[in-house]
Amino acid sequence: MKNKAFTLIEVVVSMVVSALLLTLVLGSFWLLIQINQKNEIAGELQKQTSFAMIRMSDKIKNHSIDYRAYQHDSETICQNLALTSGTQNRLCLQNGYKFKQKNSNLFMNNHQLFSDDFEVEYVYFFVSPAEDPFSDITNFSIQIQPKVTIKLKVKSKKYDNIFLEIGSTISSRKYQK
Confirm whether 104 is domain-assigned. yes
Per the structure, the complete domain to which residue 161 belongs is given by: 8-171
Give the CA-trace dihedral at 55, 57, 59, 62, to 10 degrees. Answer: -140
Confirm whether 2 is domain-assigned. no
In this prediction, residue 52 carries a pLDDT of 95
Total structural domains within the chain: 1
pLDDT tens for the chain, 177 residues: list them. 566 777 889 889 999 999 999 999 999 999 999 999 999 999 999 999 999 999 999 999 999 888 888 877 777 788 777 777 767 888 999 888 999 999 999 999 989 999 999 999 999 999 888 888 777 666 655 567 889 999 999 999 999 999 999 999 998 876 655
Confirm whether 117 is domain-assigned. yes
DSSP notation for 43-105: HHHHHHHHHHHHHHHHHHHHS-B-GGGGSTT--STTTT--GGGSEESEEEBGGG-EEEEETTE
Confirm whether 3 is domain-assigned. no
- Does residue 176 contact residue 64 with C-beta atoms inside 8 Å? yes
In this prediction, residue 175 carries a pLDDT of 60
Confirm whether 96 is domain-assigned. yes
pTM of the model: 0.77
Phi–psi pair at 93, nearest 5 degrees: -115, 165
Confirm whether 62 is domain-assigned. yes
Confirm whether 29 is domain-assigned. yes
Confirm whether 45 is domain-assigned. yes
